[in-house]
Amino acid sequence: MTLSWNSGTTYCGNAFLMIPVTVDPNAYTWFDQTTCTSHAWSASDFTGDLIAWKAVHTKNGGANPIDLDAMIVEVAYTPQSYKLAVQYDWSGVPGGADSYTLKVKGYRQDENLNVQVLTPPSTWNTRATISSTINTVYNYTLTTSEYNSGAPSVRFVDASGPDGTQSDFWLDLAVVTSTTLWDRIIMMRSLDTSGSTWGSQIVLASGRSADSPLLYSFDSTEPSIAIDSGGFLHLVWLSASASGSQQILNLVRYVVTTVAYPTQSQLASSASWTAVAPVDDTAPGYMPTISTDTSKNPHIAWSASKTSGTVYYKNKAAGTWRPTVSWGTTYTGLSVDVSPENNYVSLVRYYEAGTNEIQYTVCKNLGSNQCDAASEFMKADNSSGYDTVASGVEASSYPSLATTWDVAGDLWIAYAKDVDGSTRAIYVRFLDYPVGVFAAAEAVDSLSGTQFTHPSIGVDRTGNVYALYVAVSGSQLYYKSRTGGSWTSRTTLDAPTDYPSVVVRAPNDVTFGTNISGALYWKSSTSATYFYYIPEFEDVIPPLLGAIFVSLALSRRSRREARSDSQS
């Protein structure tokens, strides 16, 4: 048997054989003829009535009829399929930058294109979709894995897969650019008590010479501020160990103003500040916090790791820097607050373990022992060790601590804890002195199916508590207050946000303003820090003279930045 491609005029030179069966199978018997000698199959062969078939029967023995019920030719073929397969493989992209951005400029005709980036060794992830019909720039920041030690790979593919229709795609640019950020500390002072107008930014510390930093010429980040009872402004931050743009900033630095309640012009003068002092370069770390005692001396706490490591505390009791105190290897998020009434030095930290605890410890004898040894810190009831404030809290989380104006040194601690697999609530616990007993945990906010995180609390002179926190989904910022013994309804502030921090005024000066005035938070969509003013805070004691001080870290963002510390 053989086939013809032109209605029987010419037949393929090759044939195939079959032995007829003797019983009707009532089914087709198939033979594959993928090649045709002297002819190459084409799509036009199967257009119209061009395929012909002929067979020659070789007779053996007597005459036998051949019953042929039907003959068909079924064509199996691979249709035309068009797909885009353009790939860029870079090598030698210089390291040492803060971030690497893939920039693509192009447009499409009538089919979307996906821009995919390789995560070695073999995972491609869509990072952008070219959907515009006009020339458009698309940007994507590579992850560390995608940067691949300077050898990133990018490909362009059809968003809907291959098809039988051709389409045009115009690609004008595909590059990887690097960004090196200069980390700097910027001080801002409001020109009124409501935070509605602000003075010019003052660059206090920066490794970029063009910034002309006022105090310190090294890359700097993660500031924390406090105002003491005399109105002197204290500032602590992290510094690089060398000049120029650096990636590691983990040395704690400290400075304080030499004038009380500094004005805008005084803040902008180096004569109004002490020399920058290293706190303890043998104990590098992150997330410093600062408070002051009634003698206007600083107390500083920081953590060697943002996840799990040693935590450190150091003070300048009686005007002399005391030895650094350290604890353990599985802690982080250490915060310090000193009572503005009795100089109790309170520390709260996160313990990274199977129990994931928030722990509290206190030194009550600053005047006699300077709180310069771990043995001088104890539980609230004066027994040795630490108090477990909560267990099973949010992993790698940071508690928030605020001491009240009570003469006994009462305080509040806030934290986030899972209720179930889909719900995480914000809780607080109140520590009642002098008995040294924690009250039962109070839920600041719990909403089924919502996970809250990053709580920050503050306390005004009358004992009212104010809380900011963020919903993980959508990064929605919320605010609540506790007045008269109960929490108000949540107030929606802004989104997308993160890292809220309650801001306080100079705590021991009535004329300057004694109450919380608002809060800071970071907004990712604009890469800016915002101030939120809460007018109800003014109801207790209206300030006659006042300002709000904010210290910002640019450009890196991390936990506790722009933190304005609380009492003393």
CATH number of the domain enclosing 117: 2.60.120.260
Give residues with Cβ within 8 angstroms of 22, minimum separation 6: none
One-letter amino acid for residue 556 of the chain: R
Residue matched to tokens 């029967």: 57
161 and 220, same domain (yes or no): no
234 and 252, same domain (yes or no): yes
| Structure tokens, 411 | 């305080």
| Structure tokens, 189 | 């002072």
Whether the CB-CB separation of 544 and 529 falls below 8 Å is answered with no
Residue matched to tokens 């909403």: 447
d(CA 362, CA 543): 32
Query: Given this model, what pLDDT does residue 558 score?
Result: 34
How many residues are there in the chain?
568
Q: Coil, strand or helix: which one is 539?
A: helix
Signed CA dihedral, 457, 459, 463, 466: sign only: negative
d(CA 397, CA 359): 12
Q: What value does the mean pLDDT take over residues 520-542?
A: 58
If pLDDT is split at 50, 70 and 90, which confidence band does 517 have?
Answer: low
| Structure tokens, 33 | 């003829």
For 136-166, write each residue's pLDDT tens digit: 999 999 999 999 999 999 999 999 888 878 8
d(CA 333, CA 372): 20
136 and 200, same domain (yes or no): no
173 and 200, same domain (yes or no): no
> 12: domain range?
1-77
165 and 217, same domain (yes or no): no
Most confident listed range (28-32, 41-45, 215-219): 215-219
Whether the CB-CB separation of 188 and 202 falls below 8 Å is answered with yes
Query: Given this model, what pLDDT does residue 110 score?
Result: 87
- Does the pLDDT value for residue 91 go beyond 90? yes
Backbone angles phi, psi at 376, to 5 degrees: -85, -5
551 burial type by CB count under 10 A (0-12 exposed, 13-18 middle, 19+ buried): buried
107 and 39, same domain (yes or no): no
Listed residues 43, 77, 111: the one ending a domain: 77
- Smallest CA-to-CA distance from 178 within 89, 96, 99 is with 99
- Smallest CA-to-CA distance from 405 within 476, 486, 460, 451 is with 460
* Residue 531, beta-bridge partner list: 520
What is the number of domains present in the chain?
3
Signed CA dihedral, 443, 445, 450, 455: sign only: negative
If pLDDT is split at 50, 70 and 90, which confidence band does 516 have?
Answer: very low
193 and 312, same domain (yes or no): yes
Listed residues 60, 77, 94: the one ending a domain: 77
Distances (CA, A) of 352 to 312, 331, 449: 16, 6, 25
| Structure tokens, 229 | 């009872």
Q: What value does the mean pLDDT take over residues 266-292?
A: 96
Query: Given this model, what pLDDT does residue 397 score?
Result: 87
Please report, for the domain that includes residue 361, its CATH number. Answer: 2.120.10.10
- Does the pLDDT value for residue 546 go beyond 80? no
Kind of pairing between the strands at 169-179 and 99-108: antiparallel
For 433-469, write each residue's pLDDT tens digit: 999 999 999 999 999 999 999 999 988 878 889 899 9
282 and 398, same domain (yes or no): yes
H helix or E strand, kind and range, residue 136: strand 136-141
- Does the pLDDT value for residue 509 go beyond 60? no
For 99-112, write each residue's pLDDT tens digit: 899 999 999 998 99
| Structure tokens, 258 | 């030499």
255 and 294, same domain (yes or no): yes
309 and 431, same domain (yes or no): yes
Whether the CB-CB separation of 351 and 393 falls below 8 Å is answered with no
Query: Given this model, what pLDDT does residue 112 score?
Result: 93
For 36-71, write each residue's pLDDT tens digit: 998 988 888 888 889 998 888 777 766 667 777 787
Provide the 10 A C-beta neighbour count for residue 20.
Answer: 10
CA 396 remoteness from chain centre:
13
DSSP string, 151-212: --EEEEEETT--BSS---EEEEEEEEEEE-PPPEEEEEEBSSTTSSSB---EEEEES-GGG-
Query: Given this model, what pLDDT does residue 61 score?
Result: 66
d(CA 346, CA 335): 8
Residue matched to tokens 């409501």: 194
Percent of the chain with pLDDT over 90: 56
Listed residues 132, 149, 179: the one ending a domain: 179
487 and 369, same domain (yes or no): yes
If pLDDT is split at 50, 70 and 90, which confidence band does 416 have?
Answer: very high
Whether the CB-CB separation of 557 and 522 falls below 8 Å is answered with yes
Give residues with Cβ within 8 angstroms of 442, minimum separation 6: 427, 428, 429, 430, 487
List the beta strands (DSSP E) in 433-536: 437-438, 442-445, 452-459, 465-471, 476-483, 486-487, 491-494, 497-504, 516-523, 528-533
463 and 381, same domain (yes or no): yes
- Does the pLDDT value for residue 505 go beyond 70? no
- Smallest CA-to-CA distance from 226 within 361, 337, 364 is with 337
Mean pLDDT (the chain) is 86
- Smallest CA-to-CA distance from 1 within 73, 64, 62 is with 73
